[in-house]
Structure 1
């Protein structure tokens, strides 16, 4: 992957992490190590800063080996419990003066080099508010190629399916309703101007609300499928959306969720591929309406 970056932009990568160990490809891995290793490969194209935001109960020396490699480019912050994703990423973004901020889950592992510079190149366009990447599950099926609003919910396009050469929304660059905060790039000034992530949405739907707010402020949200990474989703946190979270996002977006939205022809949402952003959304709704 090549880009046209004329100079080395400064990029702060904000990683909320508990430094947990999980099984990947049949063996235990500390996921943040793979994430950071992938970032090191990108340090020749950008002026890289890494900000890890740890839960308060994670020992401060957990990332010592990365301090030795990154030196002053690694900043470690401590976030009070209970876990609040939005608060963590806001804390990280507030701690940097970099031109760009990449919000990145610790269970992300790059697949090919050049993705970070490519995302930065799109994020520097003045009317672009956020850029997402194509994320795959461990089995190489799709986790994320953009959000869509339809049928009263926010969806990941074709989650759980294989990348299809005949589906244009699996490839290239396109405008979408939203992108996952598991890998979201933007200029730091936009994060400041927008007010950051809504900390009342501590776990689920914070990225849906954030991208909706960016679009209301006149920015485009772009999905860059040429930037491809693994996302070992839910290996580092519990799954499930609470009913108050569902009600909160429905209250915020209202009729926007009835869709299809401006970027999603209905033909792109075949019934068998309608996966909610929270995989537990349909289960939660079934519990409510069948109890």
Structure 2
């Protein structure tokens, strides 16, 4: 099985210097690419000098996560793509568990490893943990992370399992599935585009998995800090886009409910003195309104299969019932 590891980079010279050596050391038999989103730092000069064996794919402008990968992957022909953030440290054998799982079924389209925190290595990482899910109104959560509560890895999720979405921090996908689904939606720019792609793959009849025997460590916020209002804008807008495009049920009641909950989130930002984040949610809704015609057009083209969600509302379970772990959540819902 031919494998390509593709690292998207934008002004990440320091991150490449820190984390690329682990990828080179532990990615035996894989071809390694860096897809550069028109960096203005010395990333390309650094790569050419220090790692001449790396294949560089140059995008002419910063196309974001979605567009950057879509453009670069036009030129990559290996059977399996592993999309890797430039702030991820991989471990020995990290590809083995992923590839072994792909070999069990042609219906497995995408896989993520266990993703843990570089800053707190005993804990899972916010961006994906041990596999992602969403509730019935589109809020994402993970085995190992519910909202901002992150669990320690005590082996409680050391099983391969079908999930709803795989994290873009380390996202392995079959080339033919990526192209059949027409890649990421470039209107997202960044954030939650992997959830949208996974949902579309599920609607095409494929499954998404977590390979628990594969493990990587993620720094997080390498390109866009978690405290950035732009990140808030992208997450809120793109979540609404994903619901409108992919939900099997009539999306209008769900969208209206989400808008109410988004309003409460905006008020919370005001009370916390985070006015820029409040305005980011407002801008996210304005941007979403402008994209409704496009999302509805895409919705018509998507065959929406039966969707199963573990719970109806992660907000209710987390903030009202005070359930903070995936296993407790699953047991409560039995």
Alignment map for 1:1-291 (pairs within 5 Å) = 9-20=1-12, 30-44=14-28, 46-59=29-42, 60-68=44-52, 70=53, 73-81=54-62, 83-110=63-90, 112-124=91-103, 125-137=105-117, 138-140=119-121, 141-143=123-125, 144-150=129-135, 152-157=137-142, 158-159=144-145, 160-165=150-155, 167=156, 170-239=157-226, 240-242=231-233, 243-254=236-247, 262=308, 264=310, 271=318, 272=322
TM-score (norm 2): 0.66
Q: Give CA-to-partner distance per residue, 1:41-88, whole Å, 9 cap, x none.
A: 2343x24232332334244313123433x2xx522313413x511011
Structure 2's unaligned 5+ residue stretches are 255-306, 326-334
**Secondary structure of residue in 2 paired with 1:16:** strand
Deviation sequence 1:107-155 (CA, Å, 0-9, x none): 1112x31011321222343111000111112213212111111152332
User: Which blocks of at least 5 consecutive residues in structure 1 are unaligned?
Assistant: 1-8, 22-29, 276-291
Structure in which a larger fraction of residues adopt helix: 2
- 8 A contact 2:89–2:216 mirrored in 1: yes
Report the structure number with the largest CA radius of gyration.
2
Distance (Å, rounded) in 1 between the aligned partners of 2:27 and 2:177: 23
- Using a 3 Å threshold, how does the CA distance of structure 1 residues 43 and 161 change in structure 2: closer, same or farther? closer
| SS of aligned partner of 2:5 | strand
How far, CA to CA, are the matches of 1:207 and 1:115 in structure 2? 20
User: Is the contact made by 1:86 and 1:202 (CA closer than 8 Å) also made in structure 2?
Assistant: yes
Question: What do you get for the CA RMSD once the two structures are aligned?
Answer: 2.8
Which aligned segments of 4 or more residues in structure 1 are displaced greater than 4 angstroms? 255-258, 272-275
Q: Larger strand proportion, structure 1 or 2? A: 1
Alignment match, 2:295: none
How many residues align? The count is 248
- Of structures 1 and 2, the one scoring higher in RCO (CA 8 A, sep 6+) is 1
Structure 1 residue 103: Cα displacement: 0.7
Deviation at 1:263, TM superposition (A): 6.7
Pick closer, same or farther for the CA change 1:37–1:164 going to 2, 3 Å: same
Cα displacement (A) at 1:229: 1.0
Structure 1 residues 113, 196: closer, same or farther in 2, change over 3 A? same
